[in-house]
């Protein structure tokens, strides 16, 4: 500190708000007249400025990946894992509750369902898929190692899927199409050979009806044939990779690979990145599309969706790029790259 | 509050006020967390980079801060900007991490199974400037307090509340931190 003024120590005190009202005002007046204190003030301000010097910008792709990781972690916390029972009382309560649930389920879910119209189950149906049917619903359910299929002829079903516990994907066959669950909770109704309503409470689904482009529905969305979809966004089939199959719904159960035994998503993402790096843009777009289709809940899915748009853009395939851009906005309406993608839709 | 590095108009004038955003977050809305991240991740990351001497767990700390904020969102006090609140959470996490690390060091030194020095073995800060080097010589408690005041523009009472320490301790830390920082800078010059 510079000598010369007995009040020099008050500069820092004044700056930190340590001086009271009248005292602060008196020091403010002093500061205007005292060169030593003014110099000390400037020195402290310079120190603060040095501390505030901007840091190098973080890599944007890294920031985006961290964002995706954060949202995935938050999402996972919303569905807490089962916890060990801590007391005998809790166990007794659980048994009682379970008994009630089983009785209720036997009455409400199993009874209304007609005998399966499809072949007998190749594998036991998953307990991770809870189906609630209305009293008039005509439906059946079957499963194999990779896919669980619910066939709805008429009536209404409410379905909840615990993806953390479910070993296989779920498909709902409708009278006039099909619906693939990539979310958690939704309901679907059909009547007279037509789907009449789809409503999504959590997660998302893709609705494919014959003669119409697939419709992606997110949480809170609902669909009905007339009037037009309320808040759904179209996902044109041609936005898919060159396999010419729809972007989200795989063609057959055999193409669905369960995460536990399938290829490592990291390898698939790396392969897509490698294609992009060597400017094999069409191939990169296809690989990113496949990645998104097969791993929609992977932390890198948003990256893949975005990079697919870039790959189409670099390949000069404007129409595919627009469709991919719309697909990105449908999947990630508040996505990190939203501001970059939006202009491309109408470009 | 100083503006974040993201400067698009929608960030300058957020469409949803912070208190409302935190209400949505408390209700479990995923989009609210994404918006909060977009608004404050840069500021939070910068604070943590400056405040900690090793950069390898910055990402973890940023994640932990936002997740802790999500868990506490229902208790947010409704201030117009939640940046100081987030910074406070980050500072608390830093302090907790430091205590855990100190405990680990104590265990290791007891076991004597490694050649770990009793001094802080964390990776040296990749300092790019004299100020950063000088800052890295301060204790983490003083460094965090100084950054909250000088970079985040938080008042001393705000800092005291965020760190759950007496106001006098904040004043003392600030004074000592500035003195040590100046001494370190003077020795750099010499």
User: Is residue B87's pLDDT more than 90?
Assistant: yes
Does any CB of chain A come closer than 8 Å to the CB of residue B33?
Answer: yes
**CB < 8 Å from B in window 132-151 of A:** none
Q: What is the pLDDT of residue A111?
A: 43
Does any CB of chain A come closer than 8 Å to the CB of residue B57?
Answer: no
For residue range A290-327, list pLDDT tens digits in order.
Answer: 888 888 887 788 888 888 888 888 888 888 888 898 88
Q: What is the pLDDT of residue A30?
A: 93
User: Is residue A147's pLDDT more than 60?
Assistant: yes
Nearest CA in chain A to B156: A16
Name residue A169's beta-bridge partners: A147
Strand A129-133 to strand A204-209: parallel, antiparallel, or no bridges (unpaired)?
unpaired
Per-residue H/E/C for chain A:
CCCCCCCCCHHHHHHCCCCCHHHHHHHHHHHHHCHHHHHHHHHHHHHHHHHCCCCCCCCHHHHHHHHHHHHHHHHHHHCCCCCCCCCHHHHHHHHHHHHHHHHHHHHHHHCCCCCCCCCCCCCCCCCCEEEEECCCCEEEEEECCCEEEEEEEEEEEEEEECCCCCCCEEEEEECCEEEEECCCEEEEEEECCEEEEEEEEECEEEEEECCCCCEEEECCCEECCCCCCCCCEECCHHHCCCCCCCCCCCCCHHHCCCCCCCCCHHHHHHHHHHHHHCCCHHHHHHHHHHHHHHCCCCCCHHHHHHHHHHHHHHHCCHHHHHHHHHHHHHHCCCCCCHHHHHHHHCC
Q: What is the pLDDT of residue A146?
A: 65
For residue range B132-182, list pLDDT tens digits in order.
Answer: 888 888 998 999 999 999 999 999 999 999 999 999 999 999 999 999 999
Does any CB of chain A come closer than 8 Å to the CB of residue B147?
Answer: yes
Does any CB of chain A come closer than 8 Å to the CB of residue B49?
Answer: yes
Does any CB of chain B come closer than 8 Å to the CB of residue A44?
Answer: yes
Half-sphere exposure of B96 (CA within 13 A, CB side): 10
| Higher pLDDT among residues B67 and A250, named by residue | B67
Q: Closest Cα to residue A298, out of A75, A80, A146?
A: A75
Q: What is the pLDDT of residue B179?
A: 94
Interface probe, candidates B16, B33, B170, chain A, greatest A C-beta count within 10 A: B33
User: Percent of chain A scored above 90 by pLDDT?
Assistant: 7
In terms of average pLDDT, the best of A157-166, A201-210, A315-324 is A315-324
User: Is residue A23's pLDDT more than 60?
Assistant: yes
pTM: 0.49
Q: Tell me chain A's radius of gyration from C-alpha atoms.
A: 29
Q: What is the pLDDT of residue A84?
A: 47
How many angstroms away from the CA of A154 is the closest CA of chain B? 33
Per the CB < 8 Å rule, is B42 touching A58? yes
Q: Which residues of B touch A57 (CB under 8 A)?
A: 5
For residue range B9-36, list pLDDT tens digits in order.
Answer: 334 445 789 999 999 898 888 888 988 9
CB-closest option in A47, A50, A55 to B49: A55
């Amino acid at each position: 500190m510079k000598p010369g003024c007995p009040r020099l120590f008050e500069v820092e005190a004044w700056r930190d708000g340590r001086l009271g009202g009248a005292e602060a005002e008196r020091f403010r007046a002093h500061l205007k007249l005292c060169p030593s204190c003014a110099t000390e003030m400037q020195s402290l301000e310079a120190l603060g400025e040095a501390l505030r010097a901007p840091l190098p910008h973080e890599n944007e792709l890294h920031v985006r990946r961290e964002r995706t990781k954060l949202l995935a972690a938050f999402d996972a916390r919303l569905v807490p894992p089962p916890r060990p029972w801590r007391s005998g009382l809790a166990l007794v309560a659980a048994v009682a509750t379970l008994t009630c649930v089983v009785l209720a389920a036997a009455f409400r879910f199993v009874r209304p369902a007609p005998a399966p119209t499809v072949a007998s189950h190749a594998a036991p149906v998953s307990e991770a898929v809870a189906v609630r049917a209305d009293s008039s619903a005509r439906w059946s359910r079957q499963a194999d190692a990779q896919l669980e299929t619910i066939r709805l002829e008429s009536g209404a079903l409410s379905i909840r899927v615990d993806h953390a516990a479910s070993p296989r994907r779920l498909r709902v066959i409708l009278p006039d199409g099909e619906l693939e669950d990539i979310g958690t909770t939704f309901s679907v109704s059909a009547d007279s050979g037509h789907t009449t309503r789809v409503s999504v409470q959590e997660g998302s689904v893709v609705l494919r009806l014959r003669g119409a482009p697939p419709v992606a529905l997110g949480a809170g969305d609902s669909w009905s044939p007339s009037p037009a979809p309320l808040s759904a966004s179209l996902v044109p089939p041609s936005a898919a990779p060159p396999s010419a199959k729809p972007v989200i719904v795989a063609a057959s159960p055999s193409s669905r690979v369960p995460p536990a035994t399938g290829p490592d998503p990291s390898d698939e993402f790396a392969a897509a990145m490698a294609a992009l790096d060597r400017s094999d843009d069409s191939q990169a777009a296809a690989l990113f599309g496949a990645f998104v289709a097969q791993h929609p809940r992977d932390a890198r899915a948003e990256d893949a969706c975005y990079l697919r748009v870039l790959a189409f853009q670099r390949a000069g395939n404007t129409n595919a790029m627009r469709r991919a851009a719309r697909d990105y906005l449908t999947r990630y309406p508040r996505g990190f790259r939203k501001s970059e993608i939006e202009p491309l839709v109408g470009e | 509050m100083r503006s974040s590095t993201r400067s698009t108009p929608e960030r300058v004038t957020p469409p949803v006020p912070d208190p409302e955003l935190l209400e949505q977050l408390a209700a479990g809305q995923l989009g609210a967390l994404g918006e909060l991240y977009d608004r404050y991740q840069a500021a939070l990351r910068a604070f943590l980079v400056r405040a900690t001497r090793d950069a390898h767990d910055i990402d973890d700390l940023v994640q932990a801060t936002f997740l802790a904020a999500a868990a506490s969102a229902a208790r947010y006090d409704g201030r117009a900007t939640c940046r100081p609140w987030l910074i406070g959470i980050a500072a608390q996490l830093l302090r907790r991490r430091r205590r855990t690390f100190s405990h680990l060091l104590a265990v290791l030194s007891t076991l004597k199974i490694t050649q770990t020095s009793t001094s802080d073995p964390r990776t040296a800060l990749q300092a790019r400037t004299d100020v950063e080097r000088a800052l890295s010589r301060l204790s983490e408690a003083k460094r965090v307090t100084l950054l909250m005041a000088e970079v985040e523009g938080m008042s001393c009472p705000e800092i005291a509340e965020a760190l759950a320490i007496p106001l006098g301790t904040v004043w003392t830390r600030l004074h000592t931190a500035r003195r040590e920082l100046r001494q370190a800078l003077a020795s750099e010059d010499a």
